[in-house]
């Protein structure tokens, strides 16, 4: 059995510029930094770009230049490491919840995301990350039509599986097995590949202090391989990138240690989604649950209604305002209302 490991980080911060001043104003809550962009960059983006690993003398070994350049360099380096496949993925341009957008806006978001990616990384993207992994078939159709080969979803967004064309569809009560990629056949006849990240591991990384120890993190990753299973298996986890360093201080170091530990001890082969897809194209087929996401148990209700999620405030806070706000913005967008 060949074991592969891939850790994907979704890095995203909303625009914080004051639209009138076009600068980010001082944010007291981000103290001692000027604002949250600066704080998160210092705590997470810069350290992850530098891959700090404490050696035996607890000195910090740093390699790589600053900030944005580190991200671009990282993608270039990943192409050398992973048979020409870069680790960076495109994403929808504005972090829009695509199943709630009309067809034209979906297409615009995806096309702008691809153009932006080409401009920055000087190559075509192989995969696209969907904001909040929110998905519907129309979104997948547009991705596939634009040449995108795969995206990544949460395991509970899988509805049905069949192991091959001659087998019956099976309901996936407990979500998809993350160790394999799947093909999703779309109404047009096109297909797109889907990876479903390991949900238990993502929760442990984000909320259960798994990043206290890089070695434990590595061991937990490796414990999910099935010795009786397929000849090739992928253990992968996708979380917000800010988990590593911002939400969990020094989480970037646990990540760097875990990857080094796996590689040096030859416990698995490190890869990325593009390389794994090229080496092990999906043989199983899957059907998705329409209009679902990784962060709302009610589908995509969190961004359009008072679904039961409480993503904003304390007791008594609710989302009843989201429907009317969205309706009003829609009226503006189709020209029925004017300022
Ligand atoms: Zn919800």
Nearest to 92 by CA among 49, 125, 137, 48: 125
Q: Show the tokens assigned to 25.
A: 């104003």
Give the pairing of strands 284-288 and 158-162: antiparallel
The 3-state DSSP class for residue 218 equals helix
**Which residues sit with Cβ closer than 5 angstroms to ligand 1, an ion?**
296, 298, 301-302, 307, 309
Phi and psi torsions of 43, nearest 5°:
-80, -25
Query: 254 C-alpha vs ligand 1 centroid, how far in Å?
Result: 31
Query: 87 C-alpha vs ligand 1 centroid, how far in Å?
Result: 31
Residue 84 pLDDT class (50, 70, 90 cuts):
very high
pLDDT tens readout for residues 9-63: 888 877 788 888 888 888 888 888 888 778 877 777 777 665 554 444 444 444 4
Phi and psi torsions of 249, nearest 5°:
-65, 140
Nearest to 298 by CA among 310, 285, 286, 287: 310
Query: 309 C-alpha vs ligand 1 centroid, how far in Å?
Result: 4
The answer to whether 233 touches 1, Cβ cutoff 8 Å, is: yes
- Would you list the domain boundaries of the chain? 2-12+84-288
Annotation: CATH topology of 2-12+84-288: 7-stranded beta/alpha barrel (3.20.110)
- pTM attached to this predicted model: 0.88
What is the rounded CA–CA span in Å between residue 208 and residue 222? Answer: 17
What is the rounded CA–CA span in Å between residue 7 and residue 43? Answer: 19
214-222 and 251-264 helices, crossing angle to 10°:
50
pLDDT tens readout for residues 193-246: 999 999 988 888 888 888 778 888 899 889 888 888 878 999 998 888 777 767
pLDDT at 311 over 60: yes
């Amino acid at each position: 059995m060949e074991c592969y490991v891939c850790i994907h980080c979704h890095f995203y911060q909303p625009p914080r510029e004051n639209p009138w001043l076009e600068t980010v104003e001082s944010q007291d809550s981000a103290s001692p930094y000027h604002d949250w962009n600066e704080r998160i960059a210092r705590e997470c983006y810069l350290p992850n770009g530098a891959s700090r690993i404490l050696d035996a003398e607890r000195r910090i070994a740093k390699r790589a230049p600053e900030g944005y350049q580190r991200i671009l360099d990282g993608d270039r380096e990943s192409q050398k490491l992973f048979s020409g496949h870069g680790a960076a993925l495109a994403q929808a341009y504005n972090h829009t919840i695509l199943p709630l957008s009309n067809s034209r806006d979906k297409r615009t978001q995806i096309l702008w995301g691809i153009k932006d990616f080409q401009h920055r990384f000087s190559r075509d993207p192989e995969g696209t990350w969907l904001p909040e992994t929110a998905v519907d078939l129309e979104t997948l159709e547009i991705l596939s039509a634009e040449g995108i080969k795969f995206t990544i979803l949460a395991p509970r967004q899988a509805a049905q599986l069949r192991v091959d064309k001659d087998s019956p569809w099976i309901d996936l009560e407990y979500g998809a097995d993350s160790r394999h990629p799947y093909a999703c056949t779309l109404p047009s006849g096109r297909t797109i590949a889907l990876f479903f990240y390991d949900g238990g591991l993502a929760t442990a990384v984000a909320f259960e202090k798994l990043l206290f120890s890089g070695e434990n993190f590595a061991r937990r990753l490796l414990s999910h391989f099935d010795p009786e299973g397929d000849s090739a298996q992928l253990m992968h986890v996708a979380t917000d990138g800010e988990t590593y360093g911002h939400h969990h201080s020094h989480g970037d170091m646990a990540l760097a240690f875990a990857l080094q530990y796996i590689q040096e001890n030859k416990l698995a082969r490190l890869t990325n989604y593009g390389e794994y897809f090229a080496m092990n194209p999906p043989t199983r087929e899957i059907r998705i649950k329409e209009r679902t996401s990784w962060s709302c148990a009610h589908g995509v209700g969190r961004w359009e209604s008072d679904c039961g999620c409480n993503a904003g405030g304390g007791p008594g806070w609710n989302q009843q305002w989201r429907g009317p706000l969205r309706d009003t913005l829609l009226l503006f967008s189709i020209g029925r209302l004017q300022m």
